[in-house]
Every structure is written in C-alpha cells, then in structure tokens.
C-alpha cells in the first residue's frame, strides 16, 4: 500500500517509543535465565515478535501484555521440527544463531529472500565450527561453536558479536571473543554488555580488544525496564527542528544508545536542542555545512540526510558502507528518494554529499524499498515540501514502530492511504 503525506505543521508532545535494541536483548537474556523475568515498557513490533516466536519455539514461555512481557526462562529445551521463522528481522537471526547452535547441531532459519541476502559470508565464516548454506529464503547451518577464541571483525554488522556475547555462558568455558575492525566500546556492543550484566553476567577484559565471561557467571531472573528509543525518536527530533512547537519526552539523557549521538551530529550542523523538564526541544540554529561519520550509527542516516537536504550548506555523511546491508541498500535509497523530491544528493566513494535547499518540490512518489527508516524519514520530509508526496510500501514501518502514523496524525500530520 501507498500513503500520501500532505504538508502540515506539527505540534505537541511525542512520547518516545521503547527501544527496539534493548527490547531484543532483554527478551533474549531473560529467556536464557532460570525463573520468571519481567520486561517493562517493551517495544512490540514485527521484529521483536520474531525474536519472541523464535524463543517460544524452543520452549521459552513468553506472555506479553500491554505494558510488560513475562518470561519464564529455559528449563527444558524443545528442538522444533519446523524451521525458525525470522520474517524480516536480521537482529533476531544474527543474535540467536550463536545460542541456537549450542542446543542442536543443525538448524534451518527462514526469512525473506532479501534478509538472507543481507547475511554476509565473511561474517558467517567468523563463527568457526559452523557451516552455512544460503538458499532463497533459507539459512541452514550445522556444527558446533567449540573454539577457545573467536576473531570477530564486526565490519558489516555488530549483531553477530552481540549474539556471541549473549551465548557465552553456553560456550566452552573461558572462550575469548577478540574484536578486530569494531571497537569494544562500539555503542551496540556496549548496549549488549550492559543488558547482559543487568541479567547477572560478569565479564573480564584480558586486553583492550577482547573479553571473556567470568567463571561461574550465569543469567539470573530480573526485572528490566526498556528506555525510550533514540533511533526512532530521531524522526520526531528532526521534525521538532522544522516545527518548534513539537517536543519529545521519554528519552534518557544519560543513555548508552549510540543513536543518542543525533544531538552531536546536529550540533556539528550548528543546530542545538535543549533538555528541560523531561522533554527535548529545538533551541536554535540552522543546518549548515558539516561532515559527520555515521559508521557506528547507520540507522540515523535517513533522517540526518533528510534534515541536511533542507539545510543552508553542504553536509557530507561518511562511513556509509554498512548501509548496503540494511533493509534496503539504504545509501542508494536515500539518494534516489531525496533527488526525486528535488534535492541534490550524490555518493562519492564511502561518502554521501548533500547540497541543502530551502525547500523541496515533492509532488511525486518515493519508494521506501520496504525499509522502515526510509518510511519515517520521508514522512517527516512530507511536511516540508511544496506538494504532497506519496510513500510506497509505507507499511514497512511496522517492522519497528507500528504506532508511528497514529502518533504522526495526533500531532497534526495529514495522510491518506491510496
């Protein structure tokens, strides 16, 4: 289905949706702990549904309510006869492969054809002891993770690293994870470690680029509250730049989420926000020329590019190589969409160069390529164009933020399904 966005002014207060990254990790950690854990304020969306269903398939009892999830962790393992269906969720597949491999020697995971293509061979080959076969919508793997040390690059994604960290209690004792291209302080790696620590794991760091699990450390039942999501809230924060009467609440100013760097990126572009009484709001400044590196925060690329397209200078976004492994080839999707709207975007090597304009034309269709973050970025831009725009495949937003367009309309957005 397609959706028309009519230019409107937005105003009001938006409550940040729960963090998808934290919800995935908390569900997995709680599932691997004995006893009942409770996750408060979880994000329920297509991706987290996939993680829940995968864990239920092996015997985890998971019940979700409006504001919480109750999880009775593993007692008896059931090896399902049917494949594990991950739908479009790369997070589910990548973060569960290491743990699932400790339960049984052979598995089949199903997903969309594009999801299977997103799994890079060089990432899979780093999981020594496992062999993989990709075919259409299937990923088959067999073997056992039985090495004493794993060299993990994280060049394409940090999600396999997160999966290995969460699986450590079930691997050979004293298994060392050594990081290469990625830094141990990578925000997503840190987010994984913090969640694991909350559920009882303790880590040791033999050197600055590796970690092992402390002997005797194991998962424990816990209560966990999911904080607001900076990745999805970045769209509302960007909208607040264009609509100063809009505020965003429910975000942790001390968050470890990498996408909290949104504010630092906007500061480089000469735009400032203020945090006051629990709300973030636009303070002052106009988008100016800058260069920003999104290699550790690729999910911010669409909305940062959208803001830059309406700036007063040239913004260079570097570190875009990981964007080709997202729900779409996100760099090309951004360039194509913004240029169709009347923007000026080009890709040079590993950089996206965006020449700002005072106003975009609109009056055309833009393809989301079934990418939830492209849908949200185009929706925000739809209020800053001369003529209404049409977003193709807008339902992709259900992957991470099914309530997005309800909130959009509540603060003044005008849409029409076609």
- The mean pLDDT value for 241-270 works out to 97
Q: What is the spatial distance between Cα 345 and Cα 332, in angstroms, rounded to a whole number?
A: 10
Structure tokens at 283: 């303070």
pLDDT tops 70 at residue 268:
yes
Provide the β-strand partners of residue 414. 6
Q: What is the pLDDT of residue 78?
A: 87
Q: What is the spatial distance between Cα 149 and Cα 185, in angstroms, rounded to a whole number?
A: 19
Confidence of residue 326 (pLDDT cuts 50, 70, 90): low
Q: What is the pLDDT of residue 81?
A: 86
| φ/ψ of residue 98, rounded to 5 | -60, -45
Q: Is residue 353 a contact partner of residue 347, using CB atoms and an 8 Å limit?
A: yes
Q: Is residue 366 a contact partner of residue 391, using CB atoms and an 8 Å limit?
A: yes
Instruction: Report CA dihedral (43, 153, 196, 257) to the nearest 10 degrees.
Output: -50
Confidence of residue 118 (pLDDT cuts 50, 70, 90): confident
Distance in angstroms between the alpha carbons of the first and the last residue of the chain: 7
pTM recorded for the entire structure? 0.95
Tell me the pLDDT of the chain averaged across its residues.
95
Q: What is the spatial distance between Cα 164 and Cα 169, in angstroms, rounded to a whole number?
A: 10
pLDDT tops 70 at residue 325:
no
Confidence of residue 120 (pLDDT cuts 50, 70, 90): confident
Q: What is the pLDDT of residue 218?
A: 96
Residue 215 class from Cβ within 10 Å (0-12 exposed, 13-18 middle, 19+ buried)?
exposed
Ordered alpha helix ranges (H), 102-229? 113-118, 121-125, 159-167, 187-198
Confidence of residue 327 (pLDDT cuts 50, 70, 90): low
Q: Which residues contact 82 (CB under 8 A, 6 or more apart)?
A: 57
Q: What is the pLDDT of residue 75?
A: 77
Confidence of residue 395 (pLDDT cuts 50, 70, 90): very high
Q: Is residue 258 a contact partner of residue 187, using CB atoms and an 8 Å limit?
A: yes
Range of weakest confidence among 100-104, 160-164, 285-289, 322-326: 322-326
Query: Per-residue pLDDT tens for 47-84?
Result: 999 999 999 999 999 999 989 999 999 877 889 889 99
Confidence of residue 264 (pLDDT cuts 50, 70, 90): very high
- The mean pLDDT value for 9-20 works out to 98
**Residue 150, CB half-sphere, CA atoms under 13 Å: how many?**
31
| φ/ψ of residue 133, rounded to 5 | -135, 120
Question: Hey, what domains does the chain have and what are their CATH numbers?
Answer: 2-16+228-417 (3.65.10.10), 20-225 (3.65.10.10)
Confidence of residue 100 (pLDDT cuts 50, 70, 90): very high
Select the more confidently predicted residue: 322 or 93.
Answer: 93
Q: What is the pLDDT of residue 181?
A: 77
């Amino acid at each position: 289905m397609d959706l028309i966005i009519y230019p409107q002014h937005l105003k009001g207060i938006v409550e940040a949706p729960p963090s998808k990254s934290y919800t995935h990790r908390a569900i997995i950690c709680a599932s691997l702990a004995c006893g009942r854990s409770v996750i408060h304020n979880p994000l329920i969306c297509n991706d987290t549904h996939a993680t829940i269903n995968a864990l239920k398939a092996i015997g985890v009892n998971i019940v979700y309510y409006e504001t919480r999830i109750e999880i009775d962790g593993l007692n008896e393992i059931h090896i399902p006869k049917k494949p594990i269906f991950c739908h479009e969720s790369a997070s589910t597949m990548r973060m569960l492969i290491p743990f699932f491999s400790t339960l049984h020697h052979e598995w089949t995971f199903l997903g969309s054809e594009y999801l299977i293509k997103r799994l890079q061979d060089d990432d899979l080959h780093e999981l020594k002891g496992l062999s993989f076969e990709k075919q259409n919508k299937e990923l088959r793997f067999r073997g056992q993770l039985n090495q004493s040390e794993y060299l993990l690059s994280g060049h394409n994604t940090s999600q396999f690293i997160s999966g290995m960290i969460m699986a450590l209690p079930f691997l050979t004792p004293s298994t060392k994870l050594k990081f290469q291209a990625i830094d141990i302080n990578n925000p997503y790696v840190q987010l994984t470690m913090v969640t694991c620590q909350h559920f009882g794991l303790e880590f040791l760091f033999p050197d600055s680029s590796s970690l092992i699990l402390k002997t005797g450390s194991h998962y424990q039942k816990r209560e966990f509250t999911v904080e607001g999501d900076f990745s999805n809230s970045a769209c509302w924060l960007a909208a607040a730049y264009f609509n100063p009467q809009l505020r965003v609440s429910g975000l942790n100013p001390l968050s470890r989420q990498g996408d909290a760097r949104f504010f630092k990126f906007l500061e480089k572009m000469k735009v400032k926000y203020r945090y006051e009484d629990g709300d973030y709001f636009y303070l002052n400044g106009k988008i100016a020329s800058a260069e920003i590196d999104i290699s550790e925060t690729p999910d911010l690329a669409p909305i940062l590019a959208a803001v830059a397209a309406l700036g007063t200078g040239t913004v260079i976004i570097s570190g875009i190589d990981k964007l080709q492994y997202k729900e779409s080839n996100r760099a090309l999707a951004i360039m194509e969409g913004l240029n169709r709207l009347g923007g000026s975007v080009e890709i040079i090597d590993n950089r996206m160069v965006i020449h700002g304009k005072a106003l975009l034309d609109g009056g055309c269709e833009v393809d989301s390529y079934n990418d939830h973050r492209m849908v949200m970025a185009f929706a925000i831009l739809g209020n800053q164009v001369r003529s209404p725009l049409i977003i193709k495949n807008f339902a992709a937003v259900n992957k991470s933020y099914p309530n997005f367009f309800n909130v959009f309309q509540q603060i003044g957005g005008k849409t029409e399904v076609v």
